[in-house]
Amino acid sequence: MMKNWDWFRKQNENRGILLVRCADRAGIVAAVSQFLFSYGANIIESHQYSTNPQGGTFFIRIEFECPGLREKEAGMKLGFQEVAKVFLMEWKLIAVREVKRMAIFVSKESHCLLELLWEWKSGDLITELVLVISNHEDIKGVVEALGVPFYYIPATKENRQEAERQHLALLQEHQVDFIVLARYMQILTSSFVANYQNQIINIHHSFLPAFVGAKPYERAYERGVKLIGATSHYVTNDLDEGPIIEQDIQRVNHRDDAEALKRIGRSVERSVLTRAVKWHLEDRIIVDGNKTIVFQ
């Protein structure tokens, strides 16, 4: 059945997150802290990072509790514009109670999807899982048994534009906030990606930047690698070159053929993708060009 997150919304009624990116200079933390204090907010968690205190870029994630946040939120967003103007900030103020709505795209390989479904069902992924889209029907029964809508839309390079038209219609109908490609083995067009900039998370079955594109395990075997890995990243128009969110590796040896590498790699893929999705849901990621700052 579909999860009901009313308890989470109630628990986090007054919890907010502020993400900031700007040129580093003195006084940023003081100004942000004073602003939050002026609204009666109490800082619960704060992480910051500077690429270089002398002319670098400054990033900060602040989680705070603010009584009456629902009523104060619009005023806070309006008021923070003045602080942001002084420091030329790129910023986002997020109400934690607003649970994000997720769509999953998948092809034949189901291991990453099954991991996400388990994490969601067990309550470890705080998200409204609103639909699963696939270009194969293999996993339909498992998805629908959990009460999640499943849509089978055949997709090939020949009908890609029509398939994406259907995808976008469904995503808009279900008010999807972000998309997870759980081994969805189709290339997305630039027009589709533009609709969800830094809101499409992919899992690639290699330790990027090695073995970009198709059949990475076969190519890893041919090279005799001693480590295999997986990479979760945001999708851009450059294949497998978007901002990296998370990576991990597993040691292998000469006894492991390409099929063995795939079996070993599946467990790495599952954990890497799940961590990336959790960090996105918790607003722990700031994209900086083709890199990410991940506050854990």
pLDDT at 269 (0 to 100): 93
pLDDT at 243 (0 to 100): 96
Residue 250: closest CA among 203, 206, 184: 206
pLDDT at 110 (0 to 100): 95
pLDDT at 1 (0 to 100): 65
Residue 201: closest CA among 236, 151, 235: 235
Query: Are 87 and 34 a contacting pair, CB within 8 Å?
Result: no
Instruction: Tell me phi and psi for residue 131, to 5 degrees.
Output: -170, 160
- Please say if 240 is a catalytic residue: yes
Q: Name residues of the chain where pLDDT drops below 50.
A: none
- The Cα-based distances of 50 to 145, 221, 293 in angstroms read 47, 39, 10
Which alpha helices (DSSP H) does the chain contain, by range?
6-11, 28-38, 69-87, 111-121, 140-145, 160-173, 190-194, 216-223, 258-281
Residues paired with residue 244 on neighbouring β-strands, in sequence order: 233
Pull the structure tokens for residue 21. Answer: 């990116």
Pull the structure tokens for residue 48. Answer: 């910051």
Catalytic residue, candidates 177, 240, 256, 283? 240
pLDDT at 86 (0 to 100): 97
Pull the structure tokens for residue 225. Answer: 């690698």
